[in-house]
Amino acid sequence: MKQDRPLDAIDRRILSLLQHDATLSHADLAERVGASSASCWRRVKALEAAGVLTRTVRLVDAATVGRGVNVLCSIRMRSHAREARQAFESFIDDRPEVVECFSMSGEWDYLIRVVVADVADYNAFLMQTLLGHASVAGASSHFALSMTKYTTAIPV
């Protein structure tokens, strides 16, 4: 849904705070933004209804659950027909190790971020799964040596 009103300073503070700690109560949120609890509740509900705030999740540290290897993989498609793209995107959506997927402009058609336990785990995914998909013509993999920045927060 498209937002029908501009964000004011309080909305922006609410968004900033919730992006860093979604567990804040309306009372805590109200105290931090200088508004009443009821006002904060209404604003949060309005931001949800407008589609500005979406689902609430908890972030998992990938390394602590044995998924510490990040691979960025560029993919070239055999065909750009709608059916081929839809089949590929549905395939990617069903793969839990693929945590991000972008349709790209330029030389490559898609860029995916894959989280795996180790190189052997990625090799199995690449050779037995990804390159086996009928729509995939080729792939180029880049292993992240370290993560220097990671955030889900959008500047508001």
> In this structure, are 40 and 94 located in the same domain?
no
Domain-located, residue 151: no
How many structural domains does the chain have?
2
Note the pLDDT of residue 3. 57
Domain-located, residue 76: yes
Token code pair at residue 153: 């927060």
Distance CA 85, CA 102 (A): 12
CATH number of domain containing 37:
1.10.10.10
> In this structure, are 68 and 39 located in the same domain?
no
> In this structure, are 105 and 132 located in the same domain?
yes
> In this structure, are 79 and 137 located in the same domain?
yes
Distance CA 24, CA 26 (A): 7
* pTM check: above 0.75: yes
Cβ 69 vs Cβ 146: under 8 Å: no
> In this structure, are 68 and 130 located in the same domain?
yes
Per-residue pLDDT tens for 2-25? 556 799 999 999 999 999 999 999
> In this structure, are 74 and 138 located in the same domain?
yes
CATH number of domain containing 88:
3.30.70.920
> In this structure, are 91 and 125 located in the same domain?
yes
Domain-located, residue 26: yes
Per-residue pLDDT tens for 37-84? 999 999 999 999 999 999 999 999 999 999 999 999 999 999 999 999
- Its domain, for residue 139, covers 63-143
Note the pLDDT of residue 2. 57
> In this structure, are 24 and 78 located in the same domain?
no
Note the pLDDT of residue 65. 97
Note the pLDDT of residue 54. 96
Per-residue pLDDT tens for 105-120? 999 999 999 999 999 9
> In this structure, are 123 and 72 located in the same domain?
yes
Query: pLDDT at residue 153 above 80?
Result: yes
> In this structure, are 75 and 43 located in the same domain?
no
Query: What is the 3-state secondary structure of the chain?
Result: CCCCCCCCHHHHHHHHHHHHCCCCCHHHHHHHHCCCHHHHHHHHHHHHHCCCCCCCCCCCCCHHHCCCEEEEEEEEECCCCHHHHHHHHHHHHCCCCEEEEEECCCCCCEEEEEEECCHHHHHHHHHHHHCCCCCEEEEEEEECCCCCCCCCCCCC
- Of the pLDDT bands very low, low, confident and very high (cuts 50, 70, 90), residue 1 is very low
Note the pLDDT of residue 145. 97
